[in-house]
Chains A and B, each alone.
Chain A
Amino acid sequence: MDLSLLSRKSDVEWWIEPHGRMRVPGIVFGTESLVKEMDEKVYEQVTNVATLRGIVRASYAMPDAHWGYGFSIGGVAAFDADQGGVISAGGVGFDISCGVRLLSTGLTRELVEPLKKRLADELARSVPAGVGRGGRLHLDGPEMDAMLAGGARWAVEQGYGMAADLERIEEHGRMSGAKPGEVSEHAKTRQRDQMGTLGSGNHYLEVQHVAKVFDPAAASAFALREGDVVVSIHCGSRGLGHQIGTEFLKRMVLAAPGYGIDVPDRELACAPIDSPEGEAYLGAMRAATNCALANRQIITHLVRRAFDSVVPRSQLTLLYDVSHNTCKVESHQMDGRTQRLFVHRKGATRAFGPGHPDLPPALSAIGQPVLIGGTMGTASYVLVGAGGSEARSFGSSCHGAGRSMSRHQALRQWNGRQVIEELASRGILIRSPSARGVAEEAPGAYKDVTAVVDAADRAGLSRKVARLEPLVCIKG
């Protein structure tokens, strides 16, 4: 991004001053080098989002922002329905409610190392991953609708996991306001055999160890100690969410002119929140959110079973589950007043600070865990929502490393089998049905997640708690 187009407010905060049709400024968080490396498209997309009707305060880009669809990935924007605010399918993304959950295993790296190979094989056998791999659960008609209305709560009622898991999930495991009737038959058909599957692309299941603790008080509240083994699950709403995204993007593209919405980029197509299209999308998107929450809950159950077969009586406890492709109704302070806003986070994580009423009591004093995915070969991070982040970014932080290289380039540069061997020599076991998929996801094709996390910490979006490094990675 051309720094000369930005006003520097601090080492990690850059503004795009309102110009043209912008209703609010653009605010980009990141160090000079991260912002400089960002695609010019991020500037364009942050600017475009700032022109949308009903946007309040600013159009934000997190430190991992890159070129997305309409919104940049790493984009955050809040809209007020009373000011004609809009909802955008592109502002949520195709993989609705894609997110990360983290489980503590209560085991140490020392204990797990000799069992690593068995664990890798058992997890790869238990959790379907990759293209064309369905799950063992098949949902039809009323069961599908019950899942779409109930989310992870539905999954727990079906015997997947424990009631105690629910308070460690955003929305307590169930997004209210879901309307399964607004989800097309095509979307439901696409999901029929996909519950409890990981998918492909950048989705993964990792066994990791806590390599470093930065904030002992927060780490202790999250029950994370150096040398502990944890499990990360990164996936979303699978085919159902993708189909909903596809269908509503087209519906909004066709409906926008009728609402006098003239967007500079068709991917930015949106509908007024209080319109038939807006309400239908909200109902369908919330159903897809429940699908993602149920999916991660079922995978958690499969992971627990796999662990139990390798380490009998192991107890995997859910630390937290975050979604990073969402639109949520939240209350925020605006000019001394509490306002109800529709907050879009596309490739951005909600990061509520201490005392927020939506946090479970056990986490209220410390803040919300913010889970940042890395790559197969580098690291993931646990952060915690920082006090004051609501005023800075509507309580939002980054979500991952972001790619630095296209899949096409990565495929030319790496051979999947060599990547697997190289990682094995560093003690990281990869299990994947596709060597080409591994090459496209090679760690070198991603940006430095540490730089992104450090910038989020310095900008006061969230605070670093612990660094996690992979032992086993199951890729789609």
Chain B
Amino acid sequence: MRAAWEHFPHGADVGIRGMGPTKEAAFEQAALALTGAVTDPAAVRPEVAVQVACEAPAADVLLVDWLNALVYEMATRRLVFGAFTVAIDGGRLHATAWGETIDQVRHEPAVEIKGATYTALRVEERDDGSWLAQCVVDV
């Protein structure tokens, strides 16, 4: 299957969902969906590469940790990311996030992400062998 991301509705916040042929691809797509809550990921230039690493006892907790690591990098470096490469080895994730400094005019950022949550959290392999990674992010 082709990798893709989308948003799903949640009362006050935003549901983000990534899908792909592998768990790694689904995590990359979920990260694009995270950016999509702020701005159009396609409009983000890959000018800076940030290394991210995290570790968690379960795949779904790892997704929350991964997204929260990105939220932290976005907030403290004032970056937005438009491309990701993720490697997962058991409970460990290593990734590179490509992006640029946020530009108020070009990116017109809609909201600041407060954090990824455990609401509607799912990381699973589907019947067709593809992977899904999703949760709600608080904005």
Residues of chain A within 8 A (CB-CB) of B65 are: 250
B139 partner residues in chain A, CB cutoff 8 A:
200-201, 407
- Known contacts: A242-B114, A266-B118. The answer to whether A250 contacts B108 by CB under 8 A is no
Contacts of A402 in B (CB 8 A): 11-12
Instruction: Write out, one digit per residue, whether chain B residues 75-97 have a CB within 8 A of any chain A CB (1) or not (0).
Output: 11010000000000000000000
Q: If the complex has contacts A69-B119, A190-B75, A253-B118, are A201 and B111 also in contact, measured as CB distance less than 8 A?
A: yes
CA distance A243 to B10 in the complex (A): 21
A33 proximity list for chain B (CB < 8 A): none
Contact B119 A403, beta carbon cutoff 8 Å: no
Is A440's beta carbon under 8 Å from chain B?
yes
Q: Are A132 and B102 in contact (CB under 8 A)?
A: yes
Q: Is the CB of A440 within 8 A of B111?
A: yes
* In the assembled complex, A199 has its CB within 8 A of some CB on chain B: yes
The verdict on A250 contacting B75 (CB below 8 Å), with A242-B115, A433-B104 known, is no
Known contacts A201-B112, A250-B65; A239 and B75 CB within 8 A of each other: yes
B104 adjacent to A132 (CB under 8 Å):
yes
The interface residues of chain B lying within 8 Å CB-to-CB of A95 are: 114, 138
Complex Cα–Cα for A131 and B118 (A): 24
In the bound assembly, the distance between CA atoms of A254 and B13 in angstroms comes to 24
By the criterion CB–CB under 8 Å, are A407 and B109 in contact?
Answer: no
Q: Per-residue 0/1 for B45-81: is the Cβ within 8 Å of any A Cβ (1 yes, 0 no)?
A: 0000000000001000100110010011001101000
Interface centre among B65, B109, B114, B115 (most CB of A within 10 A): B114
Chain A residues lying within 8 Å of B42, measured Cβ to Cβ, are none
Complex contact A190–B72 (CB within 8 A): yes
**Do B12 and A267 touch across chains, with their CB atoms under 8 A apart?**
no
Contact A67 B112 (CB under 8 A): no
Question: How many A-B contacts are there with CB distance less than 8 Å?
Answer: 120
Does A245 touch B at the CB level, under 8 Å? Answer: yes
A149 to chain B, nearest CB (A): 23
For window 101-139 of B, CB contacts with A under 8 Å fall at: 102, 104, 108-112, 114-119, 121, 138-139
A451 at the interface (CB under 8 A from B): no
B114 touches A132 (CB 8 A): no
Q: Is the CB of A131 within 8 A of B10?
A: no
Min Cβ gap B61→A in Å is: 7
When distances are taken between beta carbons in the complex, the residues of chain A under 8 Å from B68 are 246
Query: Is chain B's binding surface mostly helix, strand, loop or mixed?
Result: loop
Interface residues as binary, A241-260 with B (CB distance below 8 Å gives 1, 0 otherwise): 01101100110011000000
Q: How far is the CB of A440 from chain B (nearest CB, A)?
A: 6
User: Are B112 and A440 neighbours in the complex by a CB distance under 8 Å?
Assistant: no
CA of A100 to CA of B52, assembled, Å: 36
Cα A345 to Cα B109 in complex, Å, equals 30
B72 & A186 in contact (Cβ 8 Å cutoff): yes
Cross-chain contact of A245 among B12, B104, B114 (Cβ < 8 A): B114
B114 touches A407 (CB 8 A): no
Which of A69, A134, A200, A433 is close to B138, meaning CB atoms less than 8 Å apart? A69
Q: Hey, which chain B residues are within 8 Å of A250, CB to CB?
A: 61, 64-65
**Do B64 and A406 have beta carbons less than 8 Å apart?**
no
Q: When the two chains form their complex, are residues B138 and A94 in contact, meaning their CB atoms are under 8 A apart?
A: yes
| Known interface pairs A190-B72, A407-B139, A408-B14; A200-B112 also in contact (CB < 8 Å) | yes
Chain B residue numbers with a CB within 8 Å of A202 are 12
Q: Does A310 contact B (CB under 8 A)?
A: no
Given A67-B10, A406-B11, answer yes or no on A190-B112 (Cβ-Cβ < 8 Å). no
Q: Considering the chains assembled together, what is the distance between the CA atoms of A42 and B65 in angstroms? A: 27
Q: Which chain A positions have C-beta within 8 A of B118?
A: 69, 249, 253, 266-267
The yes or no answer to A73 lying at the interface (CB within 8 A) is yes
Contacts of A186 in B (CB 8 A): 72
Provide the bound-state CA to CA distance between A249 and B57, in Å: 15
Q: Does B4 belong to the interface (CB within 8 Å)?
A: no
In the complex, which residue of chain A has the Cβ closest to the Cβ of B67? A246
Q: Are A406 and B114 in contact (CB under 8 A)?
A: no
Inter-chain CA distance A254–B64, complex, in Å, is 13
Report yes or no: A406 in contact with B111, Cβ–Cβ below 8 A. Answer: no
Q: In the complex, A437 Cα to B38 Cα: how many Å?
A: 9
**Contact status A199-B112, CB under 8 Å:** yes
The answer to the question of A39 belonging to the interface, with a C-beta cut-off of 8 Å to chain B, is yes
Name the contact of B110 in the complex, choosing from A68, A69, A436 (C-beta under 8 A). A436
Q: How far is the CB of B5 from chain A (nearest CB, A)?
A: 13
A408 touches B11 (CB 8 A): no
Which of B12, B38, B72, B102 makes the CB contact (< 8 A) with A73? B12
Given contacts A69-B138, A402-B12, A403-B11, are A253 and B61 in contact (CB under 8 A)? Answer: yes
- Residues of A in contact with B (beta carbons under 8 Å apart): 39, 41, 66-69, 73, 94-95, 130-134, 186, 189-190, 192, 199-202, 239, 242-243, 245-246, 249-250, 253-254, 266-267, 402-403, 406-409, 433-437, 440, 476
Give the interface of B toward A (CB within 8 A). 7-14, 37-38, 57, 61, 64-65, 68, 71-72, 75-76, 78, 102, 104, 108-112, 114-119, 121, 138-139
A-B residue pairs, 3 tightest by C-beta? A131-B109, A406-B9, A132-B102
9 residue pairs of the A-B complex, CB under 8 angstroms, read A73-B12, A94-B138, A132-B112, A190-B72, A200-B110, A200-B139, A253-B61, A254-B57, A407-B139
Other A-B contacts than A134-B78, A437-B111, A440-B111, 6 sampled, CB-CB below 8 A, are A130-B104, A199-B112, A201-B114, A202-B12, A266-B121, A267-B119
